[in-house]
Amino acid sequence: MAITYDEVWISTMREINICKDYIRNYEKKILSLEKELGIKASQLNEDMLKDKKIRKLYETKLALEREQERLKGLEELLK
């Protein structure tokens, strides 16, 4: 049984929606951590990563960037 374009399109759209959900969740988490810690994710440096909560903020920021890249790739696939 061959895979049709519709099946690929549907599964890709599903993945895009999942990525968008992850991105929204990461953004909410980053905002709450920034508010709690009183520091912006863009202001982090290596010396600060010893604190567990600051490390969590940094890792969440990296995860957000990965999901944004993944979303960009999936959207390019549909063009």
Q: In angstroms, rounded to a whole number, what is the distance separating the alpha carbons of residues 72 and 30?
A: 20
Average pLDDT, the chain: 91
Domain housing 36? 5-78
**What would you report as the CA-atom Rg of the chain, rounded to the nearest whole angstrom?**
17
DSSP single-letter state for residue 49: G
Question: Model confidence over 24-57: pLDDT tens digits?
Answer: 999 999 999 999 999 998 888 888 889 899 999 9
Is pLDDT of 74 > 80? Answer: yes
Estimate to the nearest angstrom the gap between the alpha carbon of 1 and the chain centroid. 34
Structural domain count of the chain: 1
pLDDT band at residue 75 using 50, 70 and 90 as cut-offs: very high
Distances (CA, A) of 46 to 12, 16, 21: 37, 32, 29
Q: In angstroms, rounded to a whole number, what is the distance separating the alpha carbons of residues 16 and 70?
A: 9
